[in-house]
Amino acid sequence: MRILLVGAGGVGTAITRIAARRSFFDSMVVCDYDLARAEAAVAALGEGESRFAARRVDASDQSAVAALLREERCDVLLNATDPRFVPPLFEAALEAGADYLDMAMSLSSPHPERPYEECGTKLGDGQFARAGAWEEAGRLALVGVGVEPGLSDVFARYAAEELFDEIEEIGVRDGANLTVEGYDFAPSFSIWTTIEECLNPPVVWEKDRGWYTTAPFSEPEVFDFPEGIGPVECVNVEHEEVLLIPRWVDARRVTFKYGLGEEFIETLKTLHKLGLDRTETVGVRGVEVSPRDVVAACLPDPATLGDRMRGKTCAGTWVKGVKDGAPREVYLYHVVDNEWSMAEYGSQAVVWQTAVNPVVALELVADGRWSGAGVLGAEAFDPRPFLELLTAYGSPWGLREQ
Amino acid sequence: MRILLVGAGGVGTAITRIAARRSFFDSMVVCDYDLARAEAAVAALGEGESRFAARRVDASDQSAVAALLREERCDVLLNATDPRFVPPLFEAALEAGADYLDMAMSLSSPHPERPYEECGTKLGDGQFARAGAWEEAGRLALVGVGVEPGLSDVFARYAAEELFDEIEEIGVRDGANLTVEGYDFAPSFSIWTTIEECLNPPVVWEKDRGWYTTAPFSEPEVFDFPEGIGPVECVNVEHEEVLLIPRWVDARRVTFKYGLGEEFIETLKTLHKLGLDRTETVGVRGVEVSPRDVVAACLPDPATLGDRMRGKTCAGTWVKGVKDGAPREVYLYHVVDNEWSMAEYGSQAVVWQTAVNPVVALELVADGRWSGAGVLGAEAFDPRPFLELLTAYGSPWGLREQ
């Protein structure tokens, strides 16, 4: 397998470090808009790693990416960029006859009149609309295969297959007790993506009603996270799981709640009030910039904060339903301790946790245990080998009966 | 008198409208970095106004401004730009042999080790350091002659001359009950300047101690503003009055407090936490921008909000001391009702209130009632004619015994 990895930010760099320990692929071409970032990721792997090479590419330029896929004879494109680059990369892979993986799906746009009640364009709609073309080409677009969406969706499928006869609710819950020394405010994940997901109308799925939206930060709830993280206030946030899981897993309700904490919520509300969350450019003394890009540029790069971070991050899927006639409730989860991921991989916990899953998925695709054509989420596949391989990568998951 | 007005933003435009009704000057050349803004200000005065002309100039380019002063044979430069352009404009006037007026002084920089206890470079230090050169040239730099600083300083001098034998404290207090329809957040004055003054360490003057600083937003106090505005929470803010008044008026303590309100304070704290108050540029996808400029670009231009604004703004000077052996306490103030300033001048209350004062000052300089050489604040001059002329402009002031 020859892989084109697009994006050498925090997640992309962690992907190279995780993949370097595996033998399932022949080459990985690491590319980025900023060649130096790609080169740094490759150089950090050491002299012995001849399977990796660095290239420059503009992820927004579909033809350039397709040309690079052909030139490097890659079988698969792994997208580790901001979600705004999903459409050109997804189309470039199809154009070049390659498979495609991403960790976030094509962006939503709110309903023009009733944004906090009805869906407009949903996350991934742009990709699912092209499912026929992918099926026809016999190629696989494995979408949303990071940790959330991704591992959370594997957990949902696993619960449906092995733990429940009937599922009432699948609620993905994400929380952490991470702190960053020396900064008043330092998000541990891409602020661009965090703003996107937190300020868009959150989406909920119900079997009788279909997908619908609420106001941002709705339905606050305290969830008790495992392994010493403890209780964190979680709120509804727009996330791909809610769009993916109901397509393949039978449940009455699907939600996603994020443990943001009060200070972070207030900060996001202020950015929105001032229009600093906007992605359309504004004119500033003769140049055009996107305010959200400026916010990101003002904050430390989350990928560089690992040394100053302390604590653990948890991603998981809370499932309520019935098994053998009795009510059952479980939380399937995956915890990464920043101290461990820094010591083992030199990557901070949140980006490492995102990065490990597409590498596991690629390995399953490479050896044929996961195969298919079309636009498919992780819950469309057998969850067992994924969970086994994740554990084999040194990163076990847990199950808590509630 | 021939005037070069630099800056055709809200305050500059209001200056043209106020000056157009007065006969003390022969010509006013209105210039701006954006020629269209200068042309719009001149065009709005109507066909009959032949004394005004529009020119383009870059306020940061001292030589270009000096050349324009000479070319237009101007006697005086009136600076209505952001305070960062004070140094080049101040020097351009001296270079071209013109007098100079501004409404905000050269910027401060915090003490490198003890920013919230000691002053570093103070507001206006850069200008006062050049006082000798102005005296030698026999030219007048009348600094800080807007409403605050400016009218507030005239009030302080008036209190010292006519209302008190001995002054305990002079506390400038600024508050408003303005609302802006249709916006979640719409400052009524330049956000660039507001961030500058509110996030810098506030400065306080005490006779026994000299100038010193505190943490931002210190010493909160509720002040009851007149004419129906009512009680507003005020906090210490860095302002020129504290640097100017003690140079010419004898008092034991001088402070400035701004009625910001809780929501505004929280918003400023969030901007600071995220580094969005910074003026140094950051690189954003290949271009360099100042985050604070981006914040300003995202918000509506305060000068355009007059039609949506409701309420009044009040600037004033609270003086406590002794007169004829008895304690006395007065608040000298100036209130502008937005409805009145919009109907009379088409300018919103806050910018109109700032703009009227330098026009009054220019008229006093033109007819010789205010004269001098060097770098002088408004409190260096006789306050009586200023207060009388302000009333004659249709904008009376008030005195409340406390």
The architecture CATH gives domain B2-143: 3-Layer(aba) Sandwich (3.40)
Distance from CA of A304 to the nearest CA of B (A): 17
pLDDT at residue number B287: 94
Q: How far apart are CA B298 and CA B288, in angstroms?
A: 17
CB B90 within 8 A of CB B209: no
pLDDT at residue number A303: 77
Q: Which residues contact A357 (CB under 8 A, 6 or more apart)?
A: A103, A145, A146, A147, A150, A151, A378, A390
Q: Scan residues 171-230 of A and list those with Cβ closer than 8 Å to B.
A: 184-185
DSSP-assigned beta bridge partners for residue B314? B175, B335
Total residue count of chain A as it appears in this document: 402
B58 contact A CB<8A? no
B184, B271, B289: residue with CB nearest A287: B289
Domains B2-143 and B151-349 are alike in CATH topology: no
Q: What is the dihedral of CA B272, B274, B280, B283, to 10 degrees?
A: -170
Q: Would you write out chain B's pLDDT as a tens digit for each of its 402 residues?
A: 999 999 999 999 999 999 999 999 999 999 999 999 999 999 999 988 999 999 999 999 999 999 999 999 999 999 999 899 999 999 999 999 999 999 999 999 999 999 999 999 999 999 999 999 999 999 999 999 999 999 999 999 999 999 999 999 999 999 999 999 988 888 887 888 889 889 899 999 999 999 999 999 999 999 999 999 999 999 999 999 999 999 999 999 999 999 988 888 899 999 999 999 999 999 998 899 999 999 999 999 887 888 999 999 999 999 999 999 999 999 999 999 999 999 999 999 999 999 999 999 999 999 999 999 999 999 999 999 999 999 999 999 999 998
Chain B contacts of A270, Cβ < 8 Å? 266-267, 270-271
Distance from CA of B290 to the nearest CA of A (A): 9
A278 contact B CB<8A? yes
A274 contact B CB<8A? yes
B282, B283, B294: residue with CB nearest A282: B294
Q: Which residue of B has its CA nearest to A277?
A: B298
A185, A278, A298: residue with CB nearest B298: A278
Q: Which residues contact B264 (CB under 8 A, 6 or more apart)?
A: B187
Chain B contacts of A283, Cβ < 8 Å? 297
CA proximity to B342, closest of B394, B391, B302, B305: B305
pLDDT at residue number A190: 83
B267, B282, B299: residue with CB nearest A275: B299
A237-247 per-position pLDDT tens digit = 999 999 999 99
Chain A contacts of B291, Cβ < 8 Å? 294, 297-298
Token code pair at residue B358: 């330098």
Q: What is the greatest pairwise CA distance in chain B?
A: 68
CB B83 within 8 A of CB B196: yes
CB B88 within 8 A of CB B65: yes
Contact across the interface for A298 and B276, Cβ inside 8 Å: yes
Contact across the interface for B294 and A274, Cβ inside 8 Å: no
Contact across the interface for B185 and A284, Cβ inside 8 Å: no
Q: What angle do CA A303, A390, A91 make, to 5 degrees?
A: 65
pLDDT at residue number A47: 85
Contact across the interface for B294 and A291, Cβ inside 8 Å: yes
Distance from CA of B54 to the nearest CA of A (A): 20
Q: Would you write out chain A's pLDDT as a tens digit for each of its 402 residues?
A: 999 999 999 999 999 999 999 999 999 999 999 999 999 999 999 988 999 999 999 999 999 999 999 999 999 999 999 899 999 999 999 999 999 999 999 999 999 999 999 999 999 999 999 999 999 999 999 999 999 999 999 999 999 999 999 999 999 999 999 999 988 888 887 888 889 889 899 999 999 999 999 999 999 999 999 999 999 999 999 999 999 999 999 999 999 999 988 888 899 999 999 999 999 999 998 899 999 999 999 999 887 888 999 999 999 999 999 999 999 999 999 999 999 999 999 999 999 999 999 999 999 999 999 999 999 999 999 999 999 999 999 999 999 998
Q: What are phi and psi of B47, to 5 degrees?
A: -65, -35
Q: How far apart are CA B250 and CA A224, in angstroms?
A: 63
A229-266: buried (b, 16+ CB within 10 Å) or exposed (e) per residue?
beebbbbbbbbbbbbbbbebbebbbbbbbbbbeeeebe
User: CATH: 3.40.50.300, 2.40.160.40, 3.30.450.190, 3.30.360.10. Which one for B151-349?
Assistant: 3.30.360.10
B291 contact A CB<8A? yes
CB B321 within 8 A of CB B167: yes
B295 contact A CB<8A? yes
Q: How far apart are CA B60 and CA B84, in angstroms?
A: 9
Amino acid at A277: D
Q: How far apart are CA B341 and CA B291, in angstroms?
A: 32
3-state helix, strand, coil in chain B (%, to 5): 35, 25, 35
pLDDT at residue number A68: 98
Q: Which residue of A has its CA nearest to B287?
A: A287
Chain B contacts of A284, Cβ < 8 Å? 289-290, 293-294, 297
Query: What residues does each domain of chain A span?
Result: 151-348+397-401
Hey, how many other C-beta atoms are within 10 angstroms of the C-beta on B71?
A: 12
- Checking DSSP bridges between strand A253-258 and strand A166-176, what pairing results, if any? parallel
CB B78 within 8 A of CB B358: yes
Token code pair at residue A87: 């459409």
pLDDT at residue number A193: 86
CB B216 within 8 A of CB B199: yes
Chain B contacts of A266, Cβ < 8 Å? 266, 270
Contact across the interface for B294 and A276, Cβ inside 8 Å: yes
Mutate to test the interface with A, among B37, B60, B185, B274 (most CBs of A within 10 A): B274
pLDDT at residue number B262: 82
pLDDT at residue number A304: 83
HSE-up (13 A, CA, CB side) for residue A264: 21
Interface ipTM: 0.70
A185, A266, A282: residue with CB nearest B297: A282
Token code pair at residue A401: 């009966």
Contact across the interface for A284 and B289, Cβ inside 8 Å: yes
A271, A287, A297: residue with CB nearest B282: A297
Q: How far apart are CA B335 and CA B312, in angstroms?
A: 7
Q: Which residue of B has its CA nearest to A279?
A: B298
CB B234 within 8 A of CB B342: no
Token code pair at residue A36: 């130096």
- For domain A151-348+397-401, give the fold: Dihydrodipicolinate Reductase; domain 2 (3.30.360)
